[in-house]
Homo-oligomer: A and B are copies of this chain.
């Protein structure tokens, strides 16, 4: 794919579309501010774009797209930059399209339990807004306090509540999308059921900005669950923690959270947050289990059943969070594992996912592969989904070991996932960093279909080039 370099004339044309205040170039922008648009939360990559555009309306996005399409200029959409696969990095330079001004909740329909939002709304802000009217938007990535709904859609983001409630994919009903031609379409309808031709909505979700630019989204909502119970369960053997997960489901319980944390994950994060936590020497892993619902008595009954299941395993003293503050602390510890690992060391995060019951096998395999290749990993994640985040710590690895030496062991980990019926990304996407491994999960025939679809949407290949394949 060859692209046309950005000319001064095009910059002027962009200024005419979005206004000069929303056209940022390296020459006239404070270095740190500009550099931030070339980074996301993936390792320590930096890819500054030729120009940053901050459109405010769908008409502006349409006009920008038409111009980039006509002139073969790469265009990479960016949400909040919290992604972990490098999908928002403008690796071929060109235009970085920051969606930060698309930050309005346009409508909350309390009768149909739906909301229409712009893609630059912060996930947690949206959750809070619907909660104020008694409604619930479940998807909650770890970065929910800063990530954008548009990014969540592009990466098919999940989070702890996915185990009971599903991921972003399961809440989107309809998307307004700008195509490279400048055409603006709605992908579906604002309905819970849809059987009207190919499902373009679901095709857009997880397409990482390579097929079109999302400018509005309609989400379905649920009644807000009024109560929850949270328990932290220490295990003396990691494999037992992983095995207990399936047993809880088999008892007829679907927890609203079922998180696995290795000893080091929880230790690093509580240290990082300065939240004191007693961690007996013989404890190697924890499950954080949340139950939610509309009726507290019912939840206590369910909690009793969970206790009964857990008693059949070798567990330490279970901590039942008593207060809102205690619950908040436990969830903060869980959510800040990534940050604490980042604080300790540069790391690579792998987003492995397997059928739930294969989690013990995957975990054992990851450790075995690490031992063989001499790297350390901190593992944690959404055990209820079989979604294990493997953080490979740079530690004392040499530059060569870090940049090329890890390819073989990462390939082995991914091959193990696929052998177990899983795949190489559950909720982070392929983006830049998993691209070299995609052939492990997908056959050439699959990739050819995807390339063909890409060609249909984006014949000049301008949308987020260099990603996925």
Contact = CB atoms under 8 A, between A and B. Distances in A.
Contact of A207 (B198, B253, B449, B456): B198
A424 B194 CA distance: 9
A195 B252 contact: no
Contacts of A134: 250, 252
A41 to B, nearest CB: 15
Number of copies: 2
A428 B382 CA distance: 35
A170 interface: yes
A335 B187 CA distance: 31
A246 B189 contact: no
A368 interface: no
A109 interface: yes
A189 B446 contact: no
A355 B112 contact: yes
Given A190-B421, A418-B189, A449 B457 contact: yes
A469 B197 contact: yes
**Most chain B beta-carbon neighbours within 10 Å: one of A110, A190, A226, A449:** A449
A394 interface: no
B194 A250 contact: no
Contacts of A156: 193-195, 199
Contacts of A449: 179, 185, 198, 200, 456-457
B250 A428 contact: no
B109 A446 contact: no
A167 interface: yes
Contacts of A155: 195
**Most chain B beta-carbon neighbours within 10 Å: one of A354, A382, A423:** A423
Interface in A113-136: 113-114, 134
A468 to B, nearest CB: 6
B249 A386 contact: no
Contacts of A7: none
Interface string A223-262: 1101000000000000000000010011111100000000
B191 A355 contact: yes
A349 interface: no
A205 interface: yes
A348 B435 CA distance: 49
Interface residues of A, number: 97
A48 interface: no
A28 interface: no
A356 interface: yes
Interface in A192-225: 192-200, 202-203, 205-207, 211, 222-224
B112 A197 contact: no
Interface in A90-122: 109-114
A351 interface: yes
Contact of A386 (B112, B170, B356): B112
Contacts of A38: none
A158 B193 contact: yes
A429 B109 contact: no
A452 B446 contact: no
Nearest to A179: B445
A443 interface: yes
Given A111-B357, A249-B223, A198 B453 contact: yes
A434 B194 CA distance: 14
A462 B211 CA distance: 26
Contact of A385 (B166, B192, B295): B192
**Most chain B beta-carbon neighbours within 10 Å: one of A163, A179, A445:** A445
A461 interface: no
Interface string A164-194: 0011011000000001010101111111111
A430 B197 CA distance: 7
Contact of A421 (B191, B196, B424, B456): B191
A422 interface: yes
